[in-house]
Amino acid sequence: MELSDSDNSAPISARMSFTKSPKKVIRPRKLLQAGEQWLAEENFPLSLPNGEYEFLVERGPEFKVIRGGFTIESKAKDVVTVEVPRAVDMHAEGWYSGDHLSILQPTLLKRWQTADALDVAISVASNEPTSGVTRPKKPIAPETPDIEARGLQLTLNSQRVEWQHGAFLLHSDPSRLNNLSPQDKANEQPDAEERPTPESLPSKTDTAQVLQHLSKIKEDGHWIELLNSWQRDTPFLLATDQVRAVQILSEGNRPGSDAKIAFPKSNPGKFLEGKVPIVRGKERSFLDVFAPIPADDDIRFNNARGLGSLSEFLYWQMLEAGFRIAPTAGSCFDANNTNLGYNRVYAFAEEPPTPSTWMQYIQQGRTTVTNGPLLRTLVNGQPPGSVLASYRGQSISVDIAVSLTVREPVDYLDVVFNGKTIYSAKLEDHYKKGEFPPIEIEESGWMVVRVVTGHDQGYRLATTAPFYFEFDNQPRRSKAAVEFFEAWLSRSVDALKKDKEQTASMEPFLESTRRFWSDRLETCTAD
């Protein structure tokens, strides 16, 4: 069987599954496999019993899904060729794709990257067990197949730091040494051996150890990407001023349905007491929701879309509190029931990114995240992360240019400014109008453009990173949002007090974290 690109007939790889009447799933031997799908690489052989077969070919959201069938007869040696057409060329529009969480080893990861035309994949395999992907003893294809990649195949390594009450990726800045002079590089090496590195921090540790380590490496170009933002220690991590990104589509967002937050039948307290189920291979755990969500606000989060809605809501609170943090996405491939690149972050770049420039684009917030629609947005000709400035009394006219490619029905298209919807329309109604209504921005703040699909078994959406607006050089910082995080910190401290030993080790960080949020409250520019 052969798969080819319909544009140029070049051989490609993809994810593939097929069934035989009466819908019995066939699992070919000797092929890399993840769940019910397997890696179909160049010129892969099929040795199957006679019968009628149906197949499904998938190659990421930029290509169309192909369904078909064939018949196997006695002594047949036919070659079945399947062309996979492209739905959109994101590279041509300046957008490059990434998945910021996989626990598969880089050598195998590159092969799955090729199958989904994914440009960048971040592996945390150095400190994670692997379980989900079948690895044949004798692969039928070389580890770097000679196929049409349609992706940059950049594989980066980062450390996943995880403890009972928090989780994040710790990234290093690959450009740091590259920007030094030869003399500075020579001087840098001895110190680098003594200076703490991401790898020197155990993946299983406590909050005080994490915060102490972060304080030591703060000046060394390392930065944080939050994973499960609802957990207890988020206020402490934000106070380090090292958080540059947060995964609003993360390991809880999986094909079929998202993990549904488990709420008790009654919430006797002031805040919701939810737990988020996390599945990694055969292991299932529950993470407490420590964010201070009012108990009477359960309707928004107590449904199949609840986890996605919660992640987005908490991200918006960070923006309202004055943080300029980029949204990202990760699928936790090889430990989760998902495929590589199911949750994607796209970065806007004038030229193909390198490992160094990719991380720079992420930190600059030039991103859009998706687990479905492919949304490309410019505001006044600028990508997400841009700052549009003016002076009080001189409003900023907003010209929004949107391109959208979808596989499933989209419920609505939104423009959100400072957490409030200022434009919303059914997609078909919006395209009938042909343009956005006039939008004038008259105060500092942030704006995102997003589309949400009609998928009711999970939160399937695409959203831009913020576009920022500043008047008189005053960025927005909301008092209500800062007080939200102070309430969160108070809940965290109450939980800490149940462990006297941990409370003692956290004492220096408790004081500095309280001071961070107190100082932030005093500098708020909005209610």
Residue 445 predicted with pLDDT over 60: yes
Q: How confident is the model at residue 328 (pLDDT cuts 50, 70, 90)?
A: very high
Angle, helices 500-522 vs 207-216, to 10°: value is: 50
Percent over 70 (pLDDT), the chain: 84
- Domain around 513: 480-522
Domain assignment present for residue 359? The answer is yes
Model confidence at 278, in pLDDT bands (50, 70, 90)?
A: confident
Over 80: is that where the pLDDT of 100 sits?
A: yes
Residue scoring higher pLDDT (176 or 309): 309
Same domain, 29 and 175: no
User: Is the CB of residue 284 less than 8 Å from the CB of residue 278?
Assistant: yes
Least confident of 109-123, 195-209, 273-287, 314-328: 195-209
Indicate the residue among 49, 65, 84 that finishes a domain.
84
In-domain check, residue 141: yes
Least confident among 116-125, 175-184, 221-230, 255-264 = 175-184
What is the per-residue pLDDT for 140? 34
Whether residues 48 and 100 fall in one domain? no
Q: Is the pLDDT of residue 29 over 90?
A: no
* pLDDT bracket for residue 166 (50, 70, 90): confident
Strand, coil or helix: 166: strand
**How far does Cα 359 stand from its chain's mean position?**
14
408 vs 324, more confident: 324
Q: Are residues 178 and 292 in the same domain?
A: yes
**Domain identity same for 359 and 291:** yes
Confidence of residue 130 (pLDDT cuts 50, 70, 90): very low
Report how many domains make up the chain: 3
Distance of CA 197 to the CA centre of its chain: 24
Q: What is the pLDDT of residues 514-523, one digit of tens each?
A: 999 999 999 9
CA distance 99 to 343: 7
Average pLDDT, the chain: 85
Quote the pLDDT of residue 201: 61
Residues 465 and 493 reside in one and the same domain:
no
Q: What distances in angstroms separate CA 176 from CA 120, 170, 172, 221, 269, one per listed residue?
A: 20, 15, 9, 7, 48
Domain end, chosen from 24, 49, 84, is at 84
| Domain end point (choices 84, 119, 144) | 84
Residue 32 lies in a domain: yes
The answer to whether residue 167 scores a pLDDT higher than 80 is: yes
How many Å separate Cα 122 from the centre of its chain? Answer: 11
Which range among 261-270, 293-302, 347-356 shows the weakest confidence by mean pLDDT? 261-270
Judged by average pLDDT, the poorest of 201-210, 299-308, 447-456 is 201-210
Which of 142-156, 387-401, 454-468 bottoms out in mean pLDDT, i.e. has the lowest? 142-156
**460, 516: one domain:** no
Asked if the structure places residue 527 within a domain, the reply is no
Contacts of 186 by beta carbon, 8 Å cutoff, 6+ apart: none
* Residue 214 counted as domain residue: yes
- Indicate whether 481 pLDDT > 80: yes
Position 139 scores a pLDDT of: 38
Read off the pLDDT band of 105 (50, 70, 90): confident
Same domain, 271 and 352: yes
For residues 60 and 96, membership in a common domain is answered with: no
How much is the pLDDT for 26?
A: 66
Find the CATH number of the domain harbouring 56.
Answer: 2.60.40
Same domain (yes/no): 67, 179: no
Q: CA-based Rg of the chain, rounded to a whole angstrom? A: 24
Q: pLDDT digit string (tens) for 233-260? A: 999 999 999 999 999 999 888 886 677 8
Amino acid at 318: M
299: exposed, middle or buried (Cβ count in 10 Å: 0-12, 13-18, 19+): exposed
From start to end of 140-233, where are the E strands?
Answer: 154-157, 159-163, 166-171, 223-226
Q: What is the pLDDT of residue 78?
A: 67
125 and 66 in a common domain: no
In this structure, are 247 and 295 located in the same domain?
A: yes
Instruction: Give residue 51's identity as a one-letter amino acid code.
Output: G
Gap between the Cα atoms of 379 and 348, Å rounded:
13
Is the domain of 161 the same as that of 292?
yes
Cβ pair 12, 116 in contact under 8 A? no
Look at residue 226 and tell me if it is in a domain.
yes
